[in-house]
Amino acid sequence: RLGITTIKTIGMVKKIPIFGYSTLKTVAEQTPSQLPIFTIFPARKSEYNASLFIKNGTHVTRLSSDFVLTKDAIIKTMSKFKIPILVIGKISDEDVKKLQKLPLITVINHQPIYGKTLARLAQNCLTHKKTGSYKNLNPMYSHQPTIGQKKVIPQMQRQS
């Protein structure tokens, strides 16, 4: 959230276009593999954010929306694949060892997001005359906040 606030402020002050990208999709974009790509990054304790992509040349297609996968469900989920798949992202060393025992799974762990990948994606947006606005950039969350009490908006305020 802090990074997005900083970028939005810079975009507003400097009047420059701002584009947002999914972390999960960005990792798939920079992956050279032609295998199906399962991107995965830590979420909360014992949970991961994940998504599934396929890459054809330089074109990445999302096969699933982002979802939350519990640490206990990783092996169960990955063992269901009947074709080779690349698991890439950032997962615990313990989970890497478990995944490497599965015959169709290749793991690339501790994958950073490269600045050159983000620059290429932004350049592509500019080339295709897309406009980026700090007003439309918002963080995506896979979870609701767990601190504090949930705010209940009275029915009368919802209608106005």
pLDDT tens digits for 48-82? 889 999 998 888 899 998 888 888 888 898 999 99
In whole angstroms, give the CA distance from residue 121 to residue 24.
Answer: 14
Pairing of β 105-108 and β 85-89? parallel
C-alpha torsion angle, residues 124, 66, 101, 33 (rounded to 10): -10
Among 85, 93, 111, residue whose Cα is nearest residue 30: 111
pLDDT of the residue at 88: 93
pLDDT tens digits for 83-125? 999 999 998 899 999 999 999 999 999 888 888 888 888 788 7
Instruction: Check if the beta carbon of residue 24 is closer than 8 Å to that of residue 51.
Output: yes
Phi/psi of residue 62, each to 5°?
-75, 125
pTM above 0.85, yes or no: no
Section 120-132 average pLDDT = 77
Bin 129: left if φ > 0, else alpha if -120 < ψ < 50, else beta.
Answer: left
In whole angstroms, give the CA distance from residue 78 to residue 102.
Answer: 8
